């Protein structure tokens, strides 16, 4: 009985605890090719413990960026401990950035390394960098946030506006495992931040300590063919793509004024729905009917346009034609690079699994020969434009 009582104290002891002050909390991870063949350069943002013992400094001065080079991710993590003097802790990891050169040569190898780390969550967001991932992690925004917080803010914007599509590690793994869909990952860019605060140096665009400020932004999308970055979508086609895949229902669109060539009309989406219908013949020729229905409200009218006499029909027609033209332009780019980022193959696999079994092995090549017919139906529901001001009388 005495042995059992003493043993109870040992079972509930804290001999295996890990103090947060003994761990190096990694908040951001960047991957680039190494200086030697078949090596990688891993950059990490680490938030050191505060003097009081709490983890994760808030200010930019408490954020460290450390870079190591190794033959694999596992080896890089070991080498990282020689720089941090603490064990890397990846459960607080917020995002992963692939450098441009690595993304264009293939990310499958490093994805395997991330899968092998049990502490990396599948919900971690993934980006590619216009340049190197190390530059993104080392950038100082100069607007009161660390670069890591800047990226978190951008992720929040993606759910409210068609500026990018949120992609996580699970999405990448699932897409590379099966055919029928391709990756489309947001591109992080850096731009010099021109300061205007009185206590800085706006004339040269640097801070008090002559540190250049770089603002992190996302304005484009990288199209992938399997694990390789093959093409960019500009901001206009990015918005079209984001709406087509249903990542957000919001957005605006600017079209020429139907009755005044010098003017324009701006509309805001109230709803944006996309439907696909595929037909497949015995020769494995696929035809897809892509139908888009949008409901909008008018935000701005530049130039002459009398809503009372002309109504909404000319705007509906111009909006339908303009959007259909941009969708067709996007489809041409996707087919040219064998990048089924719209997920047409995935749609066929869900709705017609028997037919998909005959297409899957050659889908990349078959997708380029798929006949995609675009149909757009636009309807203006209301207007925020004041049609006629009331006359104010004395």
What pLDDT, on the 0 to 100 scale, is given for residue 32?
97
Tens digits of residue pLDDT in 260-299: 989 999 999 999 999 999 999 888 889 999 999 999 999 9
Q: Which CATH architecture has domain 249-386?
A: 2-Layer Sandwich (3.30)
Is 156 in contact with 218 (CB distance < 8 Å)? Answer: no
Arithmetic mean of pLDDT, 95-117: 92
CB atoms inside a 10 Å sphere around CB 118 = 7
pLDDT at 57 over 50: no
Q: Give me the DSSP letters along 86-137.
A: SEEE-TT--EEEE-HHHHHH-SHHHHHHHHT-TTS-TT-EEEEESS-HHHHH
User: What is the structure's pLDDT at 6?
Assistant: 81
Is the Cβ–Cβ distance between 330 and 233 less than 8 Å? yes
pLDDT by residue (tens digit) across 170-189? 999 999 988 889 999 999 99
> What span, in angstroms and rounded, lies between the C-alpha atoms of 236 and 76?
39
* Non-local CB neighbours of 50 within 8 Å, separated by 6+ positions: 56, 57, 62
Q: Is pLDDT larger for residue 251 or for residue 386?
A: 251
Query: What confidence category does residue 317 fall into, taking pLDDT thresholds of 50, 70 and 90?
Result: very high
Tokens 């006629």: give the residue.
388
Q: Check whether 9 has a pLDDT greater than 90.
A: no
Let me know: does 89 contact 24? Beta carbons within 8 Å.
yes
Say how far apart CA 278 and CA 265 lie, in whole Å: 34
Q: How far apart are CA 270 and CA 251, in angstroms?
A: 8
Residue carrying the six token digits 């020969």 = 369
Question: What are the tens digits of pLDDT across the range 132-170?
Answer: 999 999 887 766 566 677 888 888 888 788 888 899 999
Instruction: Give kind and range of the element (H or E) at residue 66.
Output: strand 64-70
Distance from chain centroid for Cα 313: 35
Mean pLDDT of 249-264: 91
Whether this model's pTM surpasses 0.75: yes
d(CA 252, CA 299): 9
Look at residue 260 and give its three-state secondary structure: coil
**Where are the domains positioned within the chain?**
22-234, 249-386
């Amino acid at each position: 009985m005495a042995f059992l009582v003493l043993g109870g104290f040992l079972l509930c002891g804290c001999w295996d605890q890990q103090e947060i002050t003994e761990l190096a909390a990694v908040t951001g991870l960047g991957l680039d090719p190494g200086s030697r063949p078949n090596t990688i350069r891993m950059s990490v943002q680490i938030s050191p413990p505060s003097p009081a013992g709490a983890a994760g400094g808030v200010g930019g001065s408490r954020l460290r960026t450390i870079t190591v080079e190794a033959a694999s991710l596992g080896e890089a993590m070991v080498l990282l401990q020689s720089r941090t003097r603490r064990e890397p802790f990846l459960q607080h990891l917020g995002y992963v950035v692939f450098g441009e050169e690595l993304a264009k040569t293939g990310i499958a190898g490093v994805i395997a390394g991330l899968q092998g780390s049990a502490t990396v969550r599948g919900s971690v967001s993934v980006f590619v960098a216009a340049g190197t991932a190390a530059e993104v992690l080392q950038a100082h925004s100069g607007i009161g946030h660390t670069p890591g917080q800047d990226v978190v803010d951008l992720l929040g914007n993606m759910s409210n506006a068609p500026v990018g599509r949120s992609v996580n590690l699970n999405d990448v793994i699932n897409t590379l495992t099966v055919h029928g869909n391709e990756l489309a990952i947001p591109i992080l860019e850096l731009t010099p931040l021109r300061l205007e605060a009185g206590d800085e140096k706006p004339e040269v665009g640097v801070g008090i300590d002559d540190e250049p400020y770089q603002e992190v932004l996302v304005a484009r999308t990288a199209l992938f063919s399997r694990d390789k970055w093959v093409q960019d979508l500009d901001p206009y086609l990015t918005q079209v793509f984001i709406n087509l895949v249903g990542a957000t229902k919001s957005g605006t669109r600017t079209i020429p004024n139907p009755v005044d060539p010098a003017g324009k009309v701006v509309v805001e989406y109230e709803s944006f729905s996309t439907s696909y219908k595929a037909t497949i013949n015995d020769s494995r020729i696929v035809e897809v009917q892509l139908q888009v229905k949008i409901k909008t409200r008018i935000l701005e009218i530049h130039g002459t346009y009398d809503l009372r006499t002309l109504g909404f029909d000319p705007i509906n027609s111009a909006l339908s034609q303009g959007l259909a033209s941009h969708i067709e332009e996007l489809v041409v780019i996707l087919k040219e690079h064998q990048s089924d980022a719209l997920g047409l193959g995935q749609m066929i696999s869900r709705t017609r699994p028997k037919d998909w079994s005959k297409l899957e092995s050659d889908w990349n090549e078959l997708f380029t020969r798929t006949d995609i017919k675009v149909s757009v139906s636009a309807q203006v529901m209301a207007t925020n434009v004041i049609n006629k001001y009331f006359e104010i009388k004395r």
